[in-house]
Amino acid sequence: MNNRPLGIFDSGVGGLTVVREIMRRLPGESIVYFGDTARVPYGTKSAETIRRYSAQIADFLVAKKVKAIVVACNTASALALSSLRSKYDLPIIGVIEPACRRAAEVSSRNKIGVIGTEATVNSRAYPSAIKKISPRAIVAARACPLLVPLVEDGRLLGDITEAVLAEYLEDILKKRIDTLILGCTHYPLLTSAIKKVVGKKVTVVDSASAVVDALKKTLEERRLLSSPRASRRCRVFYVSDSPERFAKMGKRFLRAHFNGAVKKIDLMEERDV
């Protein structure tokens, strides 16, 4: 058994969907989470910038002696995963390949839609990964730059959110997709609104569950699982800005599993502020 913590990072609160699934399925694991709330959203930034941000965060997590890192951000997974894996000698798991595998498994007609940030969609990481798994699949992707700000602002339901979703999804729904991948870990927080817009005939794939499948398999293979009854389990949350705002979201989505403690960290100075 290895009781060192897991490191998880995202551009903001979206990665909490992955944290919630880890807490549910791997209850013995300690967690160090970093949300880059000062620099969200990642989706409109350049690939070079995303790789720089991701390396800074990974350095911070490695200094916390994590045993593995989950890149709970689709943009960073698309643009920085390979560079992170070449730099660090520990398991680093992204969210794209597990979600694509799950979508290929559940799709009935091989017509898969993907929504994500501009950077994720422009990288074509999802169509590429899906085609490797299911060469005959037809993939339609759409960038949805307004969705992350809506989630960060707590607008998870309502007429405004549904109107924005309807406009974004109109084109790919015309292509008669049967499966929709939520290509950003913020988007599962909009699941109810998304299902209302796409209807019952479209299966919505949340990457969090698929990612934890991949994480669990990796930890088992490398003998890194913690004991389910680990007596010193801890969960620590860091952000680069607005810890109070992050804490509100943490309480909403992690409920009793969230202790309310969020620390603000300056990555450039590597100290608590």
Task: Tell me the catalytic residues.
Answer: 73, 184
What DSSP string describes 101-112?
A: HHHHHH-SSSEE
Q: Sign (positive/negative) of CA torsion 38, 41, 42, 45?
A: negative
First-last CA distance in the chain = 34
> For residues 45 and 195, what is the distance between their CA atoms, to the nearest angstrom?
28
The C-alpha atoms of residue 264 and residue 241 are separated, in whole angstroms, by 6
Write out the DSSP string of 50-105: HHHHHHHHHHHHHHTT-SEEEE--HHHHHHHHHHHHHH-SS-EE-SHHHHHHHHHH
DSSP state of 17: H
Report the alpha-carbon distance of residue 30 to residue 230 in Å, rounded.
9
CB 245 within 8 A of CB 151: no
In 3D space, the residue among 225, 183, 222, 228 whose CA is nearest the CA of residue 204 turns out to be 183
User: Beta strands 262-266 and 271-272: pairing type?
Assistant: antiparallel
